[in-house]
Amino acid sequence: MRRREALRVVANEAVGAYVLLRVERGRIDPGVPGQFFMLEAPGRPLPRPMSLCQAPPGELAFLLEAVGPGTRALCAVEPGDELYVFGPLGNGYRLDIDRPLLVGGGIGVAPFPYLSQQLGGPPALLGFRSGRHAEAAALVPNAEVVVEPTLVTEPLAGLGGYDVLACGPEPMLEAVRELAPRAQLAWEAPMACGYGACFGCSVEIEGVLQRLCVAGPVLEAA
Ligand SMILES: Cc1cc2nc3c(=O)[nH]c(=O)nc-3n(C[C@H](O)[C@H](O)[C@H](O)COP(=O)(O)OP(=O)(O)OC[C@H]3O[C@@H](n4cnc5c(N)ncnc54)[C@H](O)[C@@H]3O)c2cc1C
Ligand code: FES
């Protein structure tokens, strides 16, 4: 059941080039890995969608990359501040699979610590653009890490028989889809409401315009 609650910030920790924001859980349900939450930075009217990264007892943790004003404001919150959190939203990964392999690029690593925990620590392939970004791989057990110019699809091309669960930038997801046509892919689109009301996240899925926050963000590659 989704809810919107003001949650107290417990910690704001640097993880390489990213920020791990830990908040008290309140009465918010962590949901299924791959679902997302709308986070409102204090004093900013529009929330931003974020995947749940970790769900330790009594807390929710989000891994953030500062790419613009909204994420910069979220990365700047301090312990003791309050943050409105709304969720869980959308559809997460299907977990009824036999041989999971997590494939992530950049900040696409964000949902994997929680996903890995729920799946019992499956193997993961993670790609980053620098060694500093790659420090986030420490949050995911059993991860093989590549740094550009090597792309994460290069080691993936040599593997077969896995149920791939992927998250990352669009070109990476397109390349993963070519290699693993049955993969589950977590897509992104700019989102204003997160629950189907604004149509701001409409994207073409199977030739039809659909709201990614309702149909996804996790979709079957096929
Ligand atoms: C379901 C979902 C889960 C997400 N999970 C995380 C997460 O766990 N951690 C994290 O750091 N980020 C995550 N994101 C991305 C994050 O929401 C955006 O980076 C953020 O909204 C950008 O806001 P801003 O105000 O900082 O930058 P803006 O000024 O809004 O944008 C900065 C730049 O990023 C582009 N951009 C903004 N939003 C998106 C988007 N969603 N997709 C592609 N390009 C975009 C803009 O065109 C612009 O070039 C997620 C997005 C979605 C849809
Ligand atoms: S974000 Fe408003 S409809 Fe999807």
Question: Which sign does the torsion angle of CA 113, 96, 85, 70 carry?
Answer: positive
- Both tokens of 50, joined, read 């974020």
* 49-54 mean pLDDT: 98
Mean pLDDT (whole number) for 197-220: 93
Query: pTM value?
Result: 0.95
Query: Ligand 1 within 6 A of 50 CB?
Result: yes
- In the three-class reduction of DSSP (H, G, I as helix; E, B as strand; rest coil), residue 214 is classed as helix
CATH number, span 3-88: 2.40.30.10
More confident of the two residues 42 and 189 = 189
Query: 76 CB under 6 A from ligand 1?
Result: no
**Mean pLDDT across the stretch 72-83?**
95
Ligand 2 atom closest to the CA of 191, numbered from 1: 1
Probe residue for ligand 1, chosen from 65, 71, 211 as the CB with the greatest number of ligand atoms within 8 Å = 71
List 3's β-bridge partners, or say none.
87
| Ligand 1 pocket residue status of 107, Cβ below 6 Å | yes
